[in-house]
Structure 1
Amino acid sequence: MTADGSHRTVSGTQEPVGELVQRASRQLSQLVRDEMRLAQAEMTQKGKRFGKGGGLFGGAGLVGVLTLQALVAAVIAALSLTLDVWAAALIVTGALAVVTALMAALGKQQVSKASPPKPEQTMDSVKADVAEIKEKAQR
């Protein structure tokens, strides 16, 4: 830096500090814009992959349901070797109804534990922090 507040460049000419700050500001703005474009491109690519993965999971779920249906049919067929087909189907249907009711009851219990959907412990902690700050501010 020279005595008048300017800087010497490589070529030996002097630039005022204001121009250097302005140039640095422009370069920083450009850098931020470039980084944002890069982040946007990266997130777009990841979004496409998440979409494909979600579609594959959905397809796997559908095929899994079909597999379970085939298993139920096989169980009914196996039971029908010793019982009438209608009795075998009724037994399997009853067993599935019991499993369904049990899963529904457990699911309802879990949802009830999660309600209301707000971070109560965090809110209590924040309230305690605010009270402590107010108390210390009054001293």
Structure 2
Amino acid sequence: MSHTIDGRSADTASVAELVGTTAEQLSRLVREEAKLAAAEAQGKAKRLGAGAGLVAVAAVLALLAAGALVAAAIAALAQVLPVWAAALVVVGGLVLIAALVGLLGWMSIRRATPPIPEQAAASLRQDMAVIKNRSRR
């Protein structure tokens, strides 16, 4: 393939012309790559938004289903207890489960704080000690 610069072959172009052409082509390539990256990011952002919307709809439906399940549990217990007692039993069970899950979450958060990567920090301190020892020699 023969390249031309201002109508002349690349073989007869000066070094300055070749450098200028190369810079121009590199600049064009970078601009085109940036456009491609932007288009790809825009497409992914649209898919991400659509996916997030679907997840939100699923969460609302799951919440409605949970409410229906609670109502069904109360109705089932109302066969052997007064309705108010059945509702109290179900609510008490839900409060107990919520407290247990909340406690487990709180314990997990406390174990994770402070958010310092302790192993990485220890490794870094060890590396620094080795570097100091070697630099003293």
**Which residue in 2 is equivalent to 1:50?**
48
CA distance in 2, matches of 1:18, 1:132: 50
**Which residue in 2 is equivalent to 1:38?**
36
**Which residue in 1 is equivalent to 2:75?**
77
**Which residue in 1 is equivalent to 2:105?**
107
Residue type of the partner of 2:129?
Answer: A
Deviation sequence 1:43-100 (CA, Å, 0-9, x none):
0110111011111101111110110010000010011011100110011111111100
User: Please, which of 87, 90, 113 is the counterpart of residue 89 of structure 1?
Assistant: 87
Alignment map for 1:63-74 (pairs within 5 Å): 63-74=61-72
Aligned-pair identity in percent equals 46
Query: Normalised by the size of structure 1, how large is the TM-score?
Result: 0.84
Residue type of the partner of 1:118?
Answer: I
Structure 2 portions without partners, runs of 5+: 1-6
Query: Normalised by the size of structure 2, how large is the TM-score?
Result: 0.85
When residues 137 and 25 of structure 1 are mapped into structure 2, their CA distance, relative to the original with a 3 A threshold, is farther
**Which residue in 2 is equivalent to 1:5?**
none
Structure 1 portions without partners, runs of 5+: 1-8
Alpha-carbon RMSD across the aligned residues, in angstroms, is: 2.0
When residues 11 and 137 of structure 1 are mapped into structure 2, their CA distance, relative to the original with a 3 A threshold, is same
Residue type of the partner of 2:43?
Answer: Q
CA distance in 2, matches of 1:103, 1:130: 42
When residues 66 and 125 of structure 1 are mapped into structure 2, their CA distance, relative to the original with a 3 A threshold, is same
Residue aligned with 1:57, SS: helix
**Which residue in 2 is equivalent to 1:117?**
115
Q: Is the 8 A contact 2:74 2:83 kept in 1?
A: yes
Deviation sequence 1:81-127 (CA, Å, 0-9, x none):
11100110011111111100000000001111111123232233233
The Cα of 1:27 is off from its aligned counterpart by 1.0
Residue aligned with 2:13, SS: strand
CA distance in 2, matches of 1:16, 1:136: 53
User: Please, which of 17, 20, 43 is the counterpart of residue 18 of structure 2?
Assistant: 20
The Cα of 1:12 is off from its aligned counterpart by 7.6
Residue type of the partner of 2:59?
Answer: G
